[in-house]
Amino acid sequence: MLVAALLAGDLSAASPKDKLRAKQAQAEAVLVQVNKLNQSFEASVEAWNGARYQLVVTKQQLVVDRQRLRVAERQRRIAMAHVAARLRALYESDDDQNTTLGIVLGSTSVTDMLDRIDAARAVAASDKKLTQQATAARNRYAQAARAAAATVARRTVAFQQRDRERQRIGSMLDERKRLLAGVQSEVAKLQAEAAAAEAARQARLRAEARARLAAEARALEAQQAAAATAAAAAAARAKAATTVPTAPTTTTTAAPPPPTVAPVTTTTAAPPVPTIPAGPGHPQAATIALRYLGIPYLWGGASPATGFDCSGLVMYVYAQLGISLPHYAAAQYQLGAAVDRSQLQPGDLVFFDALDHVGIYIGNGQFVHAPQTGDVVKITALSDFGDGYVGARRL
């Protein structure tokens, strides 16, 4: 219900993290829509390009067909004019030799007559054929022109439809892009607010940790000083109790010497010397780790100049205490002594996620670590890792 309300835009009761997650989810959803529309738009543009290309080709073919039609029509007119001129010449001619009767009567022999008749027929057939070919060519090119014109009309309609579809999808794409830009702007704003809030929180946690560690260090120094004083006093009492006093000797010349009685020396057992408890690992490592809050995460990094990964940060901090550690969380887990979670002290190493992550405990249920790419060295609660906690080691 919360997610649905957030996605629906009801963010009034949401926390800053929930608002950011909701806006990021909305941005991802809109981005999916934009990508799909981009694909549809690209397809529609290609279809539009294809329709435009086919229309241009058809128009060009129509121009060619119309040119051929004009040529064929001109050739037909020429042929028809030629035949008409020949017929007019035959009709208007006074020379009877061009008529069939004239050919028969004007022939000098049967062979000559047949030859002249064949020639006349050939001329007539040629004129007829020329006229028929010119007419057929005219009709053929006229049909091609009509077909091309019809195709141009159809493809013009198809092109217009593709153009409207392209514009429709383009309009939808523009609207989604504007929405995406607006959502991304809101995400950026929320991220900036979240970053500022996290920076302030980290600053507060750092100040609290420094104060707490300083107080613990002073308490430890006082405890060690008190233990040292108590040990010195106990040693002094023990030394005084074990010292034997010298008995005085009296000499009398008149009387015989009295029997010598050995003095009784009483020895008091010294109280046990209190043992100073061993220091809890290296608590100063926690204070050193706080210096590097805000350093960017860098895979394989082990320097504040470039960045840290998790084991690189631990290695760098402990190197300043003269302790050399491997740049590998699983190998670091093999060093020192195991510590129960309830007995954690500042400076202990805490491990998570099947030994894929390590940090330095700073007390109060918190630790310093280099989390992941895009993040910085920061303070995080152990509880944030939930069941990912593996264990702890004290060096």
**Residue positions annotated with a catalytic role:** 310, 357, 369
- Decide: 67 and 203 in contact? Cβ < 8 Å: no
269 to each of 20, 230, 238, 244, 245, how far by Cα in Å? 72, 17, 8, 13, 16
Decide: 14 and 6 in contact? Cβ < 8 Å. Answer: yes
Contact 313, 306 (CB under 8 A): no
As a whole number of angstroms, the distance between CA 265 and CA 254 comes to 30
H-type alpha helices, the chain: 2-7, 16-92, 100-106, 110-241, 284-289, 310-319, 329-332
| Contact by Cβ (8 Å): 302, 327 | yes
DSSP 376: B
Radius of gyration of the chain (CA): 56
DSSP 34-70: HHHHHHHHHHHHHHHHHHHHHHHHHHHHHHHHHHHHH
* Beta-bridge mates of residue 366: 363, 381
Here the tokens at position 351 are 């491990």
**Burial class of residue 354 (count of CB atoms within 10 Å of its CB; 0-12, 13-18, 19+):** exposed
State how far the alpha carbon of 312 is from the alpha carbons of 123, 301, 357, 371, 388, in Å: 108, 6, 11, 12, 20
Enumerate the β-bridge partners of residue 277. Answer: none
DSSP per position, 236-285: HHHHHHTPPPPPP----SSSPPPPP-PPPPP-PPPPPPPPPPPP-S-THH
Helix (H) or strand (E) holding 351: strand 349-352
